[in-house]
Structure 1
Amino acid sequence: MSESPINVAVVYYSATGTVFELAKAAATAAEKTGAQVRLRKVAELAPAQAIASNAGWSAHAAATQHIVEAAPADLEWADVILLGAPTRFGLPAAQLKQFIDTTGPLWAQGKLVDKVASSFTATATTHGGQESTILALNNTFYHWGAIIVPPGYADPIQFRMGNPYGTSHISNNGDVSPGEVELAAIEFQTRRTVAIAQALQLGRAAI
C-alpha cells in the first residue's frame, strides 16, 4: 500500500509579522517533505483603531489579507498541527486562544486524538515568556489527546537555537525579524514533526 501524503495545518497569529515569518517557513518546510499544507491565520480580535495606531501592525494586516482564516475543519483535515503565536504576559496571544476555544466540538467527538502537534512563539524581549507560552499551547494538545513532538536537541541547529520546547524568536518589539538560526530551527522542527506523523501512518498501515 502506498503512503498517503501527510496533511499539515500551520495555524498562527501574528500582529507585526514575526510569527508569520516563522509560520511561512514552517509551511515551506512541510511542503518540501511532500506534505499537503494549509497556512492559516486566526481571526483578529483587536479593534481597527488599535491596529491603525501601530504602523507595523496595520502594515502586516494589510500585507496578509490574502491568508485564509483558520477554521476547525482545518484541524480535522490535518495529520500534523503546528500552532504559533506571540506571547502575551507569558501566555499565547488571545487571538490564537480564541480559535483554540472553538475546537470543543471536535474534541468532544474525539477528532483531535492522535494528531501530531508542535508549537512555536516569539517574544519582544529576552526571557519574555517563550517557554511558558509553548508549554501553555502544549496544554491544549494534552487535552486533545494529540502527540506532542518537541524539537529537543535532536539536530545541531538546536544547540544554536537553545530552545528544546519549540522554535522561539526575540523580536525586540518587532524591530528584528527571524534570522538564519530561527528559520533553520523551525524548518527542523517541522521536518521532525512530519517525520513522526509519517512513522505513525506507516505503523497503522502495518497493523
Structure 2
Amino acid sequence: MPTDIRVAVIYYSATGTVRSLAEAMVEGARETGAEVRLLRATETAPAEAIASRPDWQANLAATDHLPAPTLDHLRWADAIAIGCPTRFGNLATPISSFLETTGGLWFSDELADKLVGGFTSVSTAHGGHESTLLALTHIFHHWGSIIVPAGYIGDTLRGAGNPYGVSAHASYGRAAPSAQELAAARAYGSRLATVAGRYAVSREVTA
C-alpha cells in the first residue's frame, strides 16, 4: 500500500464514547502506514447543558487541544471517517452543521472519489445507530464519494454486527465502548485506509 495515504477522522463526542471509537479508528489507520489527522467538531450545546454533566465537561477539556475540521482537511484527505452520537436516529448537530458547510466542495467535485465511512454510538440497543449511519451516507452520495462499509468482513467486524459502519452501545451504568467495539473500530480504520491505498494504486495504473 502507498505510504502517503492521508486519512481524516472527524468526530463529535459529548461524553467520550465516540471519541474512543475515533481514537481506535486512528490507531487502525496508522497501522497501515497512513498519515492520520484526528479532528473534533466544534461543540454547539449551550453552556448550561454541558455544566450539568461532569463527564461532558471532562471530555471537552481533555480534547480541547484537537483542531476543528475544516474544508481544507477534507481536500487534504484521501479517506474520511466521520462519527457522532445518534440524536433521534440522526446525526448530532455539531457534525451536521459542519457537513452543511461542504456545499462548495460538493459543487466543484472536490469530494468526488474520496473514500468514506462512518461510526456512531447509541444509548439503547435499538436507538437508531443504523439510521444514523445511513443518514451519513446520504451526504456521501451527494458528494460523489466512495463508501467503504464495515461489512461482515473477518471475525472482528463480523462480531461487532453492524455492516454499515461501527457503533457502540453506551448508556448510564454500561461501560462503553466495549473491547469488541473498539477492536471493530480499529479494524474499520485499517480497512478504510487499506482500501484507499488500493484505490490510489489502481488510479496510478490506469492514469
User: TM-score normalized by structure 2?
Assistant: 0.96
Q: Is the 8 A contact 1:90 1:132 kept in 2?
A: yes
Contact 1:117 1:141 in 2 (8 A): yes
The answer to whether structure 1 residue 6 and structure 2 residue 5 are counterparts is: yes
Q: Look up the SS of the partner of 1:102 in the other structure.
A: coil
- The 5-angstrom pairing of residues 79-118 of structure 1 reads 79-118=78-117
How far apart are the structure 1 equivalents of 2:190 and 2:62?
27
1:60 aligned onto 2:59:
yes
Deviations 1:108-133 (A, max 9, x none): 11100000000000001111000000
Contact 2:3 2:33 in 1 (8 A): no
Secondary structure of the residue aligned to 2:95 is helix
Q: Kindly provide the amino acid, as one letter, of the partner of residue 99 in structure 1.
A: F
Displacement, 1:195?
1.4
Q: Give the letter for the 2:7 counterpart.
A: V
Amino acid at match of 2:77: A
1:51, 1:58 within 8 Å by CA — same for their partners in 2? Answer: yes
Moved more, 11-20 or 42-51: 42-51
Map of 1:149 onto structure 2: 148
Contact 1:9 1:38 in 2 (8 A): yes
Aligned residues of 1:18 and 1:174 also touching (Cα < 8 A): no
Whether the 8 Å contact between 1:11 and 1:42 is mirrored in structure 2 is yes
Question: The residue matched to 2:84 in structure 1 has which SS?
Answer: strand
Amino acid at match of 1:200: Y
Bigger CA drift: 121-130 or 152-161? Answer: 152-161
8 Å CA contact 2:29, 2:191 repeated in 1: no
Distance 1:134 1:3 in 2: 28
- Which residue is 2:120 aligned to? 121
Q: Which amino acid aligns with 1:56?
A: D
Distance 1:174 1:10 in 2: 28
Cα distance in 1 for partners of 2:7, 2:36 equals 5
Tell me the equivalent position of 1:167.
Answer: 166
The percent identity for this pair of structures is 46
Structure 1, gaps ≥5 residues long: none
Higher relative contact order (CA 8 A, sep 6+): 2
Deviation at 1:98, TM superposition (A): 0.2
CA distance in structure 2 between the partners assigned to 1:16 and 1:69 by the alignment: 17
